[in-house]
C-alpha cells in the first residue's frame, strides 16, 4: 500500500479495484475493518463471531467486483451486510449453545469504566431494537440521518422519528438522570 492510495477517496479506490488494483482493495479493507469489526461485535456479542462477520463482509464486497458502483457512502453500503451477517451468526450461535443471551454492547477497555459501561448498556437495553440501532448508528457510527435511512431502507421521516424517540427515552433514563445529577 502506498501513501498515495491512502489519500484516495472511496470512489477512487472502487474505480481502481474495478480496474484490477488489488492494493486499492487492501486500502479500503484497512480503512473500514475496525468499523466493521466493532459493528459486528455489537450485533453478535462474541469476538470470534465478529471476526467471521468481518471476513464474510469483505468477501461479499470483493464478489461485487469488477463492475461495482458505489452510489452511497461506504458505511451506508456495508451496514446492511454487516447487520444481516451478524444476525445470522448470532442466531447460529444461539441455536448451538444455551448460554446467556445477554451481551455487553461496549466491552470495557479498563476495569474503571465497567460501572459506567454497565449503566450505559442497561439504558440501551431498555430501548427497543429499532431505537437502539438508530441511536448507535447516529452517535457511535457517526452516520447521518439520510445515510441511516438508506442503510436500513427506511423513509427519512421514520429515521428522524425513531432517533427523536430514542433520544427522549435516553434523557428520561434513571441512569442518565443520576449521572447528570452527580456532576
Per-residue pLDDT of 60-113, as tens digits, reads 999 999 999 999 999 999 999 999 999 899 888 877 765 444 444 545 444 445
Per-residue pLDDT of 108-151, as tens digits, reads 444 445 546 666 677 777 788 888 889 888 888 888 999 999 99
CATH code, residues 109-183: 1.10.10.10
Domain 1-99 has CATH 3.30.1360.40: no
Residue 54 has pLDDT above 50, yes or no: yes
C-alpha cell at 183: 456532576
- What ranges do the domains of the chain cover? 1-99, 109-183
At residue 91, the 3 state secondary structure works out as helix
Residue 169: pLDDT band (50, 70, 90) is confident
Using alpha carbons, list the distances in angstroms from residue 70 to 2, 49, 145, 151. Answer: 22, 27, 19, 13
Can you list the alpha helix ranges (DSSP code H) found in the chain? 3-6, 10-18, 22-44, 47-63, 74-96, 114-125, 129-139, 145-152, 156-172, 174-181
Amino acid at each position: 500500500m502506498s501513501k498515495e492510495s491512502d489519500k484516495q477517496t472511496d470512489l477512487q479506490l472502487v474505480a481502481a479495484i474495478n480496474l484490477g488494483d488489488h492494493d486499492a482493495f487492501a486500502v479500503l479493507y484497512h480503512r473500514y475493518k475496525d468499523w466493521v469489526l466493532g459493528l459486528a461485535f455489537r450485533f453478535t456479542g462474541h469476538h470470534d463471531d465478529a471476526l467471521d462477520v468481518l471476513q464474510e463482509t469483505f468477501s461479499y464486497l470483493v464478489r461485487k467486483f469488477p463492475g461495482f458502483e458505489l452510489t452511497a457512502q461506504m458505511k451506508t453500503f456495508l451496514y446492511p451486510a454487516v447487520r444481516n451477517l451478524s444476525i445470522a451468526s448470532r442466531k447460529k450461535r444461539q441455536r448451538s449453545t444455551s448460554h446467556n443471551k445477554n451481551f455487553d454492547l461496549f466491552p470495557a477497555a479498563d476495569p474503571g469504566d465497567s460501572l459506567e459501561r454497565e449503566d450505559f448498556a442497561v439504558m440501551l437495553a431498555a430501548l427497543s431494537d429499532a431505537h437502539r440501532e438508530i441511536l448507535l448508528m447516529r452517535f457511535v457510527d457517526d452516520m447521518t440521518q439520510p445515510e441511516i435511512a438508506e442503510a436500513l431502507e427506511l423513509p427519512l421521516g421514520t429515521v428522524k422519528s425513531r432517533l427523536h424517540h430514542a433520544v427522549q427515552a435516553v434523557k428520561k433514563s434513571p441512569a442518565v438522570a443520576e449521572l447528570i445529577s452527580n456532576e
